[in-house]
Amino acid sequence: MSAVTSEPGVTTGRLGRRGALGFLLGGLAGCGGPLGPGREAEAARPTIRLAVGAILDGDEPAPLPAANFIDERRSAELARSVRERLRARLVPSGGGPMARLDLEQAALIERLAPDRQGGMTGLVTREPTFAQEGTVAVRIRIQDPDGRELARARVAVQRSRVLPAGSSVTRREEAARALAADLLAQLEDALEVAVRDNFGPWLVE
């Protein structure tokens, strides 16, 4: 299952004639069947050039509530991968304004699936027992040298996948890496749309 939603924003400066900004693009993929293969590694996509002097790292995601150390490690790795992917795709081509990348959320957690039992009961039934859930939300802002916001775009993607009962530690790590790869690919798709919809005056073809 997938869905795309939009959230109206406030325009300022040069974008007054282009209507509302603050576009919210959510690629929401529902939970599928038991663990399946993730996406194959993709070739590098073309860069997106913006007419800004620099692209700076902004806010970091808030700490995960009630997370264990495995969730924290996987989420930190996901956050680093998102930053690296954004730096590779978005390139400054020169200009007065600056772009700032805020990483609102980067979470990859593993939880007992609803209405499922762990331990020996889950092992005997062989039903999907645990679920891995990943969420990434990024906000991109273009600001003038005085810090005044000129435009913004927000991209959010989410995916989840269930794991069979009795999955080994190695199998769970492989599943987490596959889920992260899917999230990054989905983020790239949403990023291209959000940038073209919201940053037209600063987009260098």
Please state which CATH number belongs to domain 13-32+47-199. 3.30.160
Query: The pTM is what?
Result: 0.75
Domain boundaries, the chain: 13-32+47-199
- CA separation for the pair 140, 52 (Å, rounded): 12
Beta carbons of 103 and 115 less than 8 angstroms apart: no
- CA separation for the pair 152, 57 (Å, rounded): 15
Name 181's Cβ contacts closer than 8 Å, sequence gap at least 6: 38, 39, 41
Looking at residue 44, its pLDDT comes to: 72
Question: Does residue 123 carry a pLDDT above 70?
Answer: no
Q: In the chain, how long is the greatest CA-to-CA distance? A: 63
| 34-43: pLDDT as tens digits | 334 444 556 6
